[in-house]
């Protein structure tokens, strides 16, 4: 397939945040090296939007909640009194069923008297995979959410093989040292987070973003080989396809 024919699929990801004595931390997962996209990279929980997630803007938020549940076991849902689900709630037993598609996320929540807390996830960033990507391209919305204090998190041992809570500045330092593989959108969002000392500050900043600008990196090619990435605002950005 020619690279300009690769479809751009809608996707969503969520930066799950918590407070610690050392400051703000974000949850990150390492994708299996065999993954078709971003193999071996450290990422935030996320994936493509499915038809069952709904339509329009809310579908992206529902996808982010569903992927968070599938990939790290944290369900961003509340009961009739607005209380977030805790570990031990029977709804959490259905993580793998949601992952394999045998259970619908919305229907599962309704069955347990819960609603997906879509209001708890402000939209922070919007990135599109550059043209020239030879495997998959995504139109991805990044959201932020405070991790429920009563729930624990763990990678799925399938699509993701490791996980960690990490201070954004530490993740960036480890990337600079060659210890962590990070994609440009992940780096940019970690830079956004590192300016904040706690969850309240980060979430307030996230809600203040409103509708973020769409960022489309461009691939630099020299002698038929990829030679880097150009970002909007770079001197050579407008000259690239």
List, for residues 143-166, the tens digit of each pLDDT value.
Answer: 999 999 999 888 776 677 788 999
- Assign 4 a pLDDT band (cuts: 50, 70, 90): low
- Assign 31 a pLDDT band (cuts: 50, 70, 90): confident
Distance CA 200, CA 227 (A): 40
Place of tokens 């997630």: 53
CB-based contact 71:29 (threshold 8 Å): yes
Of residues 123, 140, 127, 93, the one with CA closest to residue 207: 123
Q: Rg for the chain (alpha carbons), in Å? A: 18
Residue 105 CA: distances (Å) to CA of 8, 68, 176: 24, 11, 38
Q: What stretches of the chain show up as alpha helix (H) in DSSP? A: 56-72, 95-99, 105-111, 168-176, 184-194, 199-209
Of residues 182, 31, 152, the one with CA closest to residue 87: 152
Distance CA 201, CA 198 (A): 6
- Assign 6 a pLDDT band (cuts: 50, 70, 90): confident
pLDDT higher than 90, residue 36: no
List, for residues 91-118, the tens digit of each pLDDT value.
Answer: 999 988 898 888 899 999 999 999 999 9
Tokens of 163: 């996980």
For the whole model, what pTM was predicted? 0.90
List, for residues 166-200, the tens digit of each pLDDT value.
Answer: 999 999 999 999 999 999 999 999 999 999 999 99
Tokens of 235: 């001197």
The pLDDT value given to residue 48: 93
Tokens of 52: 């069952």
The pLDDT value given to residue 34: 58
Distance CA 38, CA 235 (A): 27
The pLDDT value given to residue 2: 42
CB-based contact 154:148 (threshold 8 Å): no
Full set of structural domains in the chain with CATH: 3-239 (3.90.79.10)
Place of tokens 């093989």: 161
Q: What average pLDDT is seen over the chain?
A: 90
Q: What stretches of 80-183 show up as alpha helix (H) in DSSP? A: 95-99, 105-111, 168-176
Burial (CB count <10 Å: 0-12, 13-18, 19+), residue 183: middle
Residue 96 CA: distances (Å) to CA of 41, 125, 128, 159, 161: 23, 28, 29, 12, 16
Which range, 25-39, 75-89, 121-135, has the best average confidence (pLDDT)? 75-89
């Amino acid at each position: 397939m020619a690279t300009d024919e690769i479809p751009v699929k809608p996707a969503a990801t969520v930066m799950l945040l918590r407070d610690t004595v050392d400051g703000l931390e974000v949850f990150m997962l390492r994708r299996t090296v065999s993954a078709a996209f971003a193999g071996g990279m450290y990422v935030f929980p996320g994936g493509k939007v499915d038809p069952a997630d709904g339509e329009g803007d809310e579908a992206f938020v529902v996808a982010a909640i569903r992927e968070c549940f599938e990939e790290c076991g944290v369900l961003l849902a509340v009961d009739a009194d607005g209380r977030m689900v805790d570990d031990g709630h029977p709804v959490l037993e259905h993580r793998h069923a949601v992952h394999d598609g045998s259970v619908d996320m919305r229907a599962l929540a309704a069955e347990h008297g819960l609603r997906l807390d879509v209001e708890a996830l402000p939209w922070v960033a919007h990135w599109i995979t550059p043209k020239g990507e030879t495997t998959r391209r995504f139109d991805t919305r990044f959201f932020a959410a405070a991790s429920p204090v009563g729930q624990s998190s763990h990678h799925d041992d399938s699509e993701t093989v490791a996980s960690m809570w990490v201070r954004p500045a530490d993740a960036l330092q480890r990337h600079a040292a060659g210890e962590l593989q990070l994609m440009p959108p992940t780096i940019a969002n970690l830079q956004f987070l590192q300016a904040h000392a706690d969850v309240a500050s980060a979430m307030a900043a996230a809600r203040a973003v409103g509708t973020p600008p769409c960022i489309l990196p461009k691939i630099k090619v020299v002698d038929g080989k990829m030679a880097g990435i150009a970002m909007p605002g770079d001197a050579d950005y407008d000259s690239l396809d």
